[in-house]
Amino acid sequence: MTSFVAVSPPIGPLEYTIGRNGFETGPYQFVQSPDCGYATTITVTNLPPEPFIVHNRDRRTFTLSQTTDQSLIGVYLVTVRAEFF
């Protein structure tokens, strides 16, 4: 294998205003070049609590739910990492 890269558009930055409609991002994708058939493990860290933001590993999407909970206001630096084995 010579490279392992994200080929989808960047996931973020994402902005959400409290009280507005929720939305879904993605899907995102990582590709091996050339394809060696290794299984890919996706790890997500620093994600805000569910159900505000839900990561769907199978679909490789993030869903931001509508909320009025002001305790969720803030900046979240989320890391999406792909590893192959």
Distance, in Å, from the CA atom of 59 to the CA atom of 81, rounded to the nearest integer, reads: 15
Q: How far is the CA of 1 from the CAs of 34, 69, 84, in angstroms?
A: 6, 46, 11
Overall pTM > 0.75: no
pLDDT of residue 10: 65
Q: pLDDT under 70 in the chain at which residues?
A: 1-10
Domain that holds residue 68: 3-84
Residue 68: per-residue pLDDT = 93
| Angle of CA points 42, 47, 53, to nearest 5° | 100
Q: How many structural domains is the chain composed of?
A: 1
pLDDT confidence of residue 3: 53
